[in-house]
Amino acid sequence: MARIVDVAALAGVSTATVSRVLNGKAVRADLEKAVRKAIDELGYTPNRTARSLRRQHSEVIALVLPDIENPFFTSLARGVEDIAQEAGLSVVLCNTDEDPDKQERYLRIADDENMAGVIVAPAGPSALLRHLTERERAVVVVDRAVPDDVDQVTFDNLELGRRATRALAERGFRRIACVTGPESTPTAVARAQGWREELAEAGLPAPEDLLVHVNFRVDGGEDAMTRLLELATPPDAVLATNNLVGVGALRVLSATDQVDLGLGIIGDLPFVTSPVDNVSLLQLRPREMGLSAARMLVQRIRGEAGPARQIVQPTQPVRLGAPRESGPAR
């Protein structure tokens, strides 16, 4: 079996240089090329268990998400995986189904298995995040801000709610409803607050019957839109504060032929549902969030110290109409 010294001899470099290449650290391009060529020729496989013991962590990171079926999180995961692969890290995907108990179990496993780090979109508060950072595990929180002293990549959700509502008001709608996620989800609450504040600034009413909390999925959007259309005085426009809720709303509008009702959606539509030329769409670019979070995590894994950092993803312009993508709704 080939050893690291064999790789070094064939590549004409030191074992330290081979080690730097294997650990994803900066090496001159020509030296890295020679090392990787030698690895291929010799069929060298690093002893990952021994390396894990020396470095006190494995070469695996956990990505803990609340709903991997939501294309937002699928795109975010792709961004994380792209950066992790470049850094020589493997990603274990964990789906919590918005269940804080499942989240805690996955975080405990990440700790017990000495994983190099964790990227998590929290399903709820977790004392384990502080525990992981105290044990010098790299941790980055995405999408949903937490009060912990930890690296985070989030959106300005209040501003997202305001901007999407403003786009509907500027199109002439006056009775604008808001369909958002559970009251336990910070993003849902903040976007609804942005809706409320923007309506107040525009001098428009925001009665309680126009604010509907549902699950952040397609059936939640369908249920909310059905209920809103059954009101004695239905809204003339609806803001859906995430992509799947927007899909559900579109399905109901298509089925009931409500062509004049305005619709605003925060998030990217994942598949064709019905004509969307008249929809105000505020895209989020989740893959960029995943890229940013993974870069921060890799920096921490490689020893970068310093206070916790927070990146707020820039808010995109509102578009009228949405890009059409192939593939049936599921």
Q: Quick one: pLDDT at residue 25? A: 72
My answer on whether 135 and 230 are in the same domain is: no
pLDDT at 129: 85
Query: What average pLDDT does this structure show over 78-101?
Result: 94
Looking at the fold, whether 172 and 277 belong to one and the same domain comes out as yes
pLDDT value of residue 274: 53
Please indicate, yes or no, if residue 327 is contained in any of the structural domains: no
So what's the pLDDT on residue 135?
A: 79
Q: Which amino acid is at 296?
A: M
Q: Number of C-alpha atoms within 13 angstroms, CB side, residue 196? A: 13
Give yes or no: residues 112 and 184 share one domain: no
Give a yes or no: residue 124 inside a domain: yes
Give 55 or 172, the one with higher predicted confidence. Answer: 172
182/273 same-domain check: yes
Residues 184 and 262 in one domain: yes
Q: Is the pLDDT of residue 48 over 70?
A: no
Nearest C-alpha neighbor of 48 from the set 92, 90, 14, 111: 90
52-61, 211-220, 310-319, range with greatest mean pLDDT: 211-220
CATH code, 103? 3.40.50.2300
Q: Is the residue at 326 inside a domain?
A: no
Task: Please indicate, yes or no, if residue 324 is contained in any of the structural domains.
Answer: no
Instruction: Round the average pLDDT of the chain to a whole number and report it.
Output: 88
- Answer whether residue 49 shows pLDDT above 90: no
Angle between the N-to-C axes of helices 157-170 and 186-201, in degrees from 0 to 180, rounded to the nearest 10: 40
**Do residues 24 and 114 share a domain?**
no
CB 300 within 8 Å of CB 120: no
Total-model pTM: 0.77
Does 195 lie in the same domain as 99? no
Residue pLDDT, tens place only, 98-116: 999 999 999 999 988 889 9
Cα(95)–Cα(67) distance, integer angstroms? 6
pLDDT beyond 70 at 55: no
Are 82 and 192 in the same domain? no
pLDDT score of 321: 62
Same domain, 257 and 174: yes
User: What average pLDDT does range 64-82 have in this prediction?
Assistant: 95
Give the confidence band of 53 by pLDDT, cuts at 50, 70, 90: very low
Is the pLDDT reported for residue 309 higher than 90? yes
Q: Write out pLDDT tens, residues 7-19.
A: 999 999 988 888 8
Tell me the pLDDT tens digit for each residue of 192-209.
999 999 999 999 999 999
What average pLDDT does the segment 170-178 reach? 96
How many folded domains does the chain comprise? Answer: 3
User: According to the model, what pLDDT value does residue 323 have?
Assistant: 41
- Report pLDDT for 50: 46
